[in-house]
Structure formats: structure tokens, C-alpha cells
């Protein structure tokens, strides 16, 4: 049998219960706040709504209790009513707190998911920046020293695979293309090709590309090398030997094997292109003017040719403009009445002066290729 409790004591117990419930409600409202602003706002509104409902129920229950207290009833009935009121209030409170926690949990998951995606994207961006700056990624071909690329290939032929693929494609289906190695291919296509060979050095030239795309890719590879094929050490010696086939032959033998074989391969390809100059309008001199800045340069004067395919704001002539008048360089537009000394340096698009000695070297390597590279197992295409 329950002990006797007077109505004022029950009044005090009910007051304490509802007071503690209010404290719990306040704590529940403060739980969602620190997670994320949007979720906290939603949770707060939910808690306020629950608090309103609890308040209304409290008011209604208390009114019933007061009315019951005014009527003569047994203590057991009064206690039962209070227990029922407390139970229903507690149920509503727990439901509100549970819903609030669920909202907070969902918000936390969303925040974690966004944070994970952001971290992955940031990591990808940083990786790409590092690859562009150092050029030493595990699969990269462009921007990597030529000897590193050849060593990774583990091939008996000391030539970069990308150069071989470009040359084979052009010999088979591109020699008659007008202004080959002068006009440039489609920017997006070149960027895709660079990505393809950076991901897999053993890749093949995909279908749908044009000879201009492939020639531009070859030029881009040469321009991306940290050191030119002719090396920095032999820069002056090679330039000074441009008028002597014998001297040129002996100096080029000082090059590392990979550089020597690649230079022979590139100039053999240019020789094949020049032999079709009636159709493609690119003789040895024209080819030398386009290729010399990518084959011979001094330390600190690396060509910026390849950078245009990583910079969307740069404008370059496209294959889509082949039918329009060609874009001429300062050398092409030089005329007798310009009053310009032809021996002076003419700035190119990259702001560097034209190295006429380098042009003469490459022209010599093209025109006298077989006489200079006598022991290089002369490149022959079927």
C-alpha cells in the first residue's frame, strides 16, 4: 500500500519533474548547434516545437490535476493521473530528442561526405600541380628527362615511345598535309593526347586525330623536356659547327646515346617531310625554323611552346583555320623596305630572340642527315 502523500507534496513533485524536463529540453536544444549551422537551425526549430507541445500538454495536465485536486478523490487516483501525465510527457520528450539526434546525425554524415570529396579534389589538384612542376610522376612522359622515360620503357630501342608513335603515324598518313609542323592541331585534342601518353607511355595514337594534331604533340613533347636534345653543355659547340659536316658529326657523338638516337630519329622524320615539300609546303628551312627552338636552346631560355596546352587563355592557330590566310612570324613578314637589319634578333611569340644559328644547325641536320648520322643505324620507314 503506497504511503499517504498530501496534495501539496504532489504539487511540489510535479513542479520538480517539469522543471527537470525543461532542463533536459534545453540540453537537447544545445546538442545540435555545434555540428553545422543548417542542421542546428533545423534541430533548434524541432526542439522548440517539441517544447511548445510539451508546454501545452503540461498546461493541460496541470489544469486537470488542479481540477481533480478540488474534487474529493482517493490519493491512489491522484497518483495514477500524475504518473500517466509524467509518462506521456516523458514519451513526447524522448521522441523529440531522438528526432533531433537523428537530424544531427544526418547532418554530420553530410558534412563528412562533403569534407571527404573536398579532400580528394584538393589532393588531385595538388598532385597535378606537383606533376607539372617536377615532372617526375610515376607514369608521366611529358616534362620528364628523356633518359628517365626511355629507362622506364625497358626497350631495346633507346627512343621515347611517344616520338616513335608520332613519326610512324605521320610517315604513313601525314606527309602530304599542308604546313605540317607549322600549323597547330586542335587544343583539346592535344591535351587529351598528352593525358593519354602520361597515363600510359605505351599508348597508341587514337583514331580521329589529324596529322596536325600528331605533329603538334611531337613538338610539345620536345618542348616539355627539361633539357634539349642537344644538351646545355654542347650548345655553343654545336652552333659553331653548323658549317662543317665533319665537325658536326664529331660533336654530336658526344651526346648521350638516348639524345643522339632521338635527334637522328627526329631529323630523319623532318627529312621525309621536306621531301614532300611540293605538297606540304614545308622545305628544310621552313621545318628548321619551326623545330630549332624546340631542339636547341640555352639554359634559362626553355621554350614555352608546351605551356599553351595547359593555359586556356592562350590563342594559337588551329587546324580549323587552315583555309584562312596563314599566320606568319616576324621572319615571314620581313621585307626589304622595312629598314630592319636581317642580322638582328627578331622576337618570336615567346619573347625570346630568334636563334638563327640554331635554325642553321637544324637545317644542316635535315639536309645532310645521312652524311652526319653515318653510324646511327639510319632510320628507315617502309
Distances in whole angstroms, Cα of residue 37 to Cα of each of 33, 104, 111, 174, 292:
7, 10, 11, 61, 60
Q: Is residue 68 part of a domain?
A: no
**Which has the minimum average pLDDT: 113-127, 198-212, 225-239, 282-296?**
113-127
Provide the number of structural domains found in the chain.
1
Sign, CA torsion 360/376/226/313? positive
What's the domain range around 366?
146-311+354-373
Tell me if 220 is assigned to some domain: yes
With cut-offs at 50, 70 and 90, classify the pLDDT of residue 100. Answer: confident
CA distances to 33, 154, 251, 270 from 256, in Å = 67, 17, 11, 21
- What's the pLDDT tens digit per position in 157-176? 899 999 999 999 999 999 99
Task: Please indicate whether residue 351 or residue 267 has the higher confidence score (pLDDT).
Answer: 267
Q: Tell me how crowded residue 114 is: count the other CB atoms within 10 A of its CB.
A: 11
Q: How confident is the model at residue 145 (pLDDT cuts 50, 70, 90)?
A: very high
**110: in domain:** no
Q: What is the pLDDT of residue 362?
A: 95
Whether 264 maps to a domain, the answer reads yes
For the record, the C-alpha cell of 142 comes out as: 611529358
Query: What's the mean pLDDT when you consider all of the chain?
Result: 75
* CATH number for 272: 1.10.555.10
Predicted TM-score (pTM) of the model is 0.57
Question: Does the residue 8 lie in any domain?
Answer: no
Specify the long-range contacts of residues 250-255, CB closer than 8 Å, at least 24 apart. 252/372, 252/373, 255/229, 255/230, 255/231
DSSP letters spanning 262-309: HHHHHHHHHHHHHTTHHHH---HHHHHHHHHHHH---TT----GGGGG
Question: What average pLDDT does this structure show over 199-207?
Answer: 90
Instruction: Over range 51-59, report the average pLDDT.
Output: 69
Q: Is residue 278 scored above 70 in pLDDT?
A: yes
Kindly report the number of other CB atoms within 10 A of residue 152's CB atom: 16
Amino acid at each position: 500500500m503506497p504511503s499517504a502523500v498530501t496534495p501539496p507534496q504532489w504539487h511540489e513533485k510535479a513542479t520538480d519533474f517539469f522543471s527537470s524536463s525543461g532542463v533536459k529540453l534545453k540540453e537537447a536544444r544545445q546538442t545540435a548547434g555545434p555540428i553545422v549551422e543548417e542542421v542546428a537551425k533545423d534541430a533548434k526549430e524541432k526542439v522548440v516545437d517539441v517544447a511548445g507541445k510539451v508546454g501545452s500538454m503540461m498546461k493541460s495536465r496541470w489544469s486537470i490535476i488542479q481540477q481533480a485536486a478540488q474534487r474529493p478523490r482517493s490519493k491512489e487516483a491522484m497518483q495514477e493521473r500524475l504518473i500517466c501525465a509524467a509518462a506521456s510527457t516523458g514519451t513526447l520528450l524522448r521522441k523529440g530528442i531522438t528526432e533531433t539526434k537523428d537530424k544531427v546525425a544526418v547532418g554530420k554524415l553530410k558534412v563528412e561526405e562533403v569534407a571527404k570529396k573536398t579532400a580528394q579534389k584538393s589532393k588531385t589538384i595538388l598532385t597535378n600541380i606537383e606533376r607539372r612542376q617536377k615532372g617526375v610522376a610515376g607514369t608521366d612522359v611529358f616534362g620528364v628527362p628523356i633518359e628517365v622515360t626511355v629507362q622506364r620503357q625497358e626497350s631495346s630501342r633507346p627512343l621515347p615511345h611517344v616520338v616513335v608513335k608520332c613519326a610512324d603515324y605521320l610517315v604513313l598518313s601525314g606527309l602530304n598535309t599542308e604546313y605540317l609542323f607549322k600549323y597547330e592541331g586542335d587544343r583539346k585534342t592535344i591535351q587529351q593526347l598528352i593525358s593519354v601518353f602520361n597515363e600510359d607511355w605505351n599508348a597508341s595514337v587514337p583514331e580521329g586525330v589529324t596529322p596536325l594534331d600528331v605533329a603538334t604533340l611531337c613538338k610539345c613533347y620536345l618542348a616539355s623536356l627539361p633539357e634539349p636534345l642537344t644538351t646545355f653543355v654542347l650548345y655553343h659547340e654545336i652552333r659553331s659547327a653548323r658549317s662543317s659536316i665533319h665537325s658536326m658529326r664529331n660533336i654530336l657523338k658526344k651526346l648521350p646515346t638516348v639524345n643522339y638516337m632521338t635527334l637522328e630519329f627526329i631529323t630523319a622524320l623532318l627529312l621525309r617531310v621536306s621531301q614532300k615539300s611540293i605538297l606540304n609546303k614545308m622545305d628544310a628551312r621552313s621545318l628548321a625554323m619551326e623545330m630549332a627552338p624546340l631542339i636547341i636552346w640555352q639554359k634559362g631560355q626553355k621554350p614555352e611552346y608546351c605551356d599553351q596546352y595547359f593555359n586556356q587563355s592562350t590563342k594559337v592557330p588551329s587546324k580549323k583555320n587552315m583555309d584562312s590566310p596563314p599566320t606568319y612570324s616576324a621572319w615571314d613578314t620581313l621585307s626589304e623596305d622595312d629598314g630592319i637589319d636581317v642580322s638582328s634578333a627578331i622576337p618570336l611569340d615567346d619573347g625570346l630572340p630568334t636563334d638563327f644559328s640554331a635554325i642553321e644547325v637544324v637545317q644542316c641536320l635535315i639536309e645532310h642527315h645521312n652524311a652526319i648520322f653515318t653510324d646511327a643505324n639510319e632510320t628507315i620507314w617502309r
